[in-house]
Chains A and B, each alone.
Chain A
Amino acid sequence: MPDELILNKEHLTGFLRKIANERELIAPVKNQYGDTLFEIVSCVDDVSLDLESRPVVPPKNFFLPRTEILFNYRHEGKEYRFEEALPDISRVLFGLRSCDLWAILFFDVVFQENFKDRYYLNRRSNTILINIGCHKPMQNCFCKSAQSGPFLAYGYDLQFTDMGDRFFVEIGRPGGRELVEKWDYFFEPVTQKDRNEQYEIVLEAESGFERIVDFDTAVSRFINDEVDEALWEELGNRCQGCGGCAYVCPTCYCFDIADRPVSDSKGERVRTHDACTLAGFTRLAGGYNPRHERRRRIRRRFYHKLAFAKERYHRPSCVGCGRCVEICFGRIDMIHFIRTVCEQPGKAMKASLRLGEILLDAGLISKEELKAALEKQADTGKPIGAQLIEDGVITKEDVARALGIQLGIP
C-alpha cells in the first residue's frame, strides 16, 4: 500500500459508513441551529457533515470528557471500596483540523509525562485520527504563526487534502493504514499531477493567512517577565470570569475531581473540566486564595499558554485556532494581545516593590495615610509597616501579606 492515495468525494460516505459499522465515528455535524459540533455519528446518512467550518468546540471532550466517572465507590458497614471505571471504546475521529490535532499531541505530553493517566491514554490509543488540512484559513485562524497548521507533517493517522472533487489522502500512523487497507476498494492511486496539485494547495493555504503574529517574540517577552503591568489591569477589568475561553480552548486540560453521591452507601468519583479564570480555582480550605484578583487569574492564563507550557513542555499551548477570540464577551483577543506584547518596549518590568506601594496597590491604605506615616517614620525611625500598625491604619495580617508579596512568597 503506498503512502498517498486518492479518495473520490462520492466515496466518502461509503467509507465513513463502513467505519461507523465497526467503530464509534465522530465527525463535525451541522445541527438544527446552524452550529457545527463534533458529534457521535451512528448513521452517516442521517446527518449533514460540515467540512467547511471550524466546529465551535474542540474535540478534546472525546479524550478528556466534560464529566467522566473515574470510580464507583461504595460504603458498606465499615468497608469503603473503589472500583475503576476505565473507558474501553474504539473510535475514529474524522474531520478534525490541524490545530485540534496539534492540541491532542500536546495533551499526549501532559497526560503521559511522569505519571500516566490511564483514562486519557485508553481513549487516546483507541482513537484513529483523520485530519483535514485547511486549504483555506478561516476567520481568526492563526495556526501558521503557532506552527500548528494548516497542514501537519506527523501525528495524524490519515490526512486529507480537499482537492475539489476528490481528497488527497496521506497515510501516517498505523491506524490510518489499517482503515485504508481494510476498505482499499474506495481508494485510487495518486498521479504526479495529483501530487503537484496538492503541493500547490498547501502553498496557497500557507500564504492565505491574514492573522499573523510573532509567537517567538511574545514568548520571550513572557519568559523574561517583560510584560507591562498595566496590560493585566486592563484585561482583568474586561474578563468576566466566565471560563468560556477554557471551554473552547483545545489545549485547556485543567480538571477538578469531586465526589457525586448516589445514595447513602455509594457514589461516583467524577472528573470535570475546570478553568483557571474561575474565582475558586485556587481557593484553599479556610478561604485563602493566592489568585483572588481577576487580573492575576487572567495573567496566569496567558503566562501558562505562552511561557510556562513552553518551559515545561517545550511548546506554547496556544495552537492558533482562534476560538477564544470569538467566544470572549470582554473581547479579550489572543491575536491582539500577542501583538500588543510584541510592540511593548523590551525592557525589564519586574522591579522589587516597596511595602508602602504594595499596601497602596491593594487598597489597604490611602495615599494620605501613607504620606502621614512616612512623615512620622522620619521622626520615629520605625519600619513603615510598624508605623502603619501603630497608627491603627492596618493590621499585622495585612503587613504580613504585603511582606510576603515583597519577598515573593506567594
Chain B
Amino acid sequence: MRDKAQTLVREMVSNIYLPRPVSIKRVKEETGDIKTFTLGFKDQDKKDRFTFRPGQFVLVSVFNCGEAPISICSSPTFSGGLQLSIKKMGLLTGEIHRCTKGDELGLRGPYGNGFPLEQLYGRDLLLVGGGIGLAPLRSLIEYVISERSEFGQVTVLYGARTAQDLVFKDDLSAWDTEKDVNVITTVYRDSATWKGNIGPLTSLWKKAAISPLNTKAIICGHPAIVSYVVFDLLKMGFGEDDIITTLERHMKCGVGKCGHCSIGSKFTCRHGPVFTYQEIKALPSVL
C-alpha cells in the first residue's frame, strides 16, 4: 500500500516523457539485421526501481533520431541487465545497430499491460512466434522457466523466413532441454544446412500434438501470421479468451495521450499491446 502511494507521488512529480540514461553492456548479433542489446542503468537507484512484466515494452531514445517502442526480450528474473532485440528497419533502428559497447541510449517505461500472468499460472502454454515476434515471447519463456513449477507443459513454435533469420538460436536449444518444454522450429524456405521443418508455422500443428485442453495460446508476429494461426486455433477448439496476441502500432507517447496507437476507445500502449482474441473481436472494425 505504502509502495503504491509512493509510486503515485512519484508519478505526480516526475516527467512522463523524460528518458533515463542507460548504457550498452553487450551487443549480440542474432541475424544479418537483428541485434540483441543488453542495457544497464547509469543510475543505480533507477535500476532498483525498474520492474516490469513479460510482454511490456520501453521507448528507446537514440541521439538525434527520436524514440521508438521496443519489446523487452529478457525476463524480469534475469539480473544481468535489460535486453532488447532490435531489427534494423529505419533511421532509429539503423543508428542503434551502429552502437557498440559503452554507448548510451535513453529509455523510458516500461509501458503496456504485459502478458496476463495470473491467467497463465497452472496452464499449459502454446507459444507461437514468427520472426522478431519471438522477442516478447522470450521474456515470457525465460520467466516461465525460472518459475517452472507455476506452469504446465510449454510448447514453443517458432518460424522464420530462412535458417539465417532465426533469432535466439542458443536459447531455442537451451529451452528444449528444459523439463516439459518442447521447442519446434520451422523455416519457410529451404537451405542446404537446415535439417528441421520447412513450411509455415501452421505446418507444425501435427508435430506439436496440440490440444486446447487447459491450454493458453500466445502468438506474436506479423499480423498475417497471427491471422493464419488464430484461424487454425479457433478451428481446433481454442476458446476466444484462451488465444492471446499482441498488436503492433505506431506510438509516440507510450502513455495513452498522443493518439497514434488508438484502436476504438482503447490505446495499444496502455490497454495493450497484449489482447485476447475475444478483446480484439470486440474492438471496432473501424480501427
Contact = CB atoms under 8 A, between A and B. Distances in A.
Contact of B228 (A80, A111, A259, A400): A400
B224 A401 contact: yes
A285 interface: yes
Given A81-B21, A300-B286, A311-B265, A288 B104 contact: no
Given A255-B258, A274-B259, A267 B252 contact: no
Contacts of A86: 15
Given A118-B15, A404-B224, A254 B230 contact: no
Contacts of A254: 258-260
Given A311-B265, A401-B223, A410-B280, A256 B258 contact: yes
Interface in A187-225: 225
Interface stretch (B72-80, B147-155, B210-218, B243-251): B243-251
Interface residues of B, number: 58
Given A115-B257, A303-B286, A288 B21 contact: no
Nearest to B263: A410
Interface in A301-352: 303-304, 307-309, 311-312, 350
A63 interface: no
A111 B257 contact: yes
Interface in B55-93: 61, 63-68, 89-90, 93
A397 B224 contact: yes
B281 interface: yes
Interface string A378-410: 000000000000000000110011011101111
A258 B17 CA distance: 12
Contacts of A288: 223
B93 A409 contact: no
A286 B265 CA distance: 26
Contacts of B23: 78
Interface string B269-287: 0100000010011011111
A269 B66 CA distance: 7
A255 B259 contact: yes
A71 interface: yes
A128 interface: no
Contacts of A409: 223, 226-227, 230, 245, 277, 280
A66 interface: no
Nearest to A397: B224
B252 A256 contact: yes
Contacts of A118: 15-16
B280 to A, nearest CB: 6
Contacts of A397: 224
Contacts of B228: 400, 403
Nearest to B223: A404
Interface in B1-29: 11-12, 15-19, 21, 23
Which interface residue of B12, B63, B228 has the most chain A CB atoms within 10 A? B63
Contacts of B255: 114-115
Contact of B11 (A70, A115, A405): A115
A49 B173 CA distance: 74
B126 interface: no
A353 B230 CA distance: 17
A116 interface: yes
A200 B265 CA distance: 40
A255 B104 contact: no
A274 B64 CA distance: 20
Interface stretch (A6-14, A98-106, A276-284): A276-284
A118 B12 CA distance: 8
A50 to B, nearest CB: 32
A186 interface: no
Contacts of A269: 17, 61, 66
B178 interface: no
A255 B230 CA distance: 33
Nearest to A350: B285
Contacts of B89: 285-286
A115 B250 contact: no
B255 to A, nearest CB: 4
Given A284-B250, A307-B265, A80 B223 contact: no
B17 A257 contact: yes
Nearest to A261: B64
B19 to A, nearest CB: 6
Interface string A109-124: 0110111111100000
A299 interface: yes
Nearest to B63: A75
B103 interface: yes
A200 B118 CA distance: 61
B21 A304 contact: no
Which interface residue of A255, A283, A288, A407 has the most chain B CB atoms within 10 A? A407
B62 to A, nearest CB: 8
Contact of B63 (A73, A281, A284): A73
Contacts of B66: 257-259, 269
B265 A116 contact: no
A192 B149 CA distance: 78
Contacts of A144: none
Contacts of B253: 255, 257
15 contacts: A78-B102, A84-B15, A114-B255, A115-B255, A115-B257, A116-B11, A258-B66, A274-B252, A288-B223, A403-B227, A403-B231, A404-B223, A409-B280, A410-B283, A410-B287
Given A78-B23, A284-B249, 13 more contacts: A71-B17, A110-B257, A117-B16, A257-B258, A261-B64, A269-B61, A281-B260, A284-B248, A296-B286, A400-B225, A400-B228, A410-B263, A410-B287
Interface of B: 11-12, 15-19, 21, 23, 61, 63-68, 89-90, 93, 102-106, 223-228, 230-231, 245, 247-250, 252-253, 255-260, 262-265, 270, 277, 280-281, 283-287
Interface of A: 70-71, 73, 75, 78-82, 84, 86, 110-111, 113-119, 225, 253-259, 261, 267, 269, 274, 276, 281-286, 288, 290-291, 296, 299-300, 303-304, 307-309, 311-312, 350, 396-397, 400-401, 403-405, 407-410
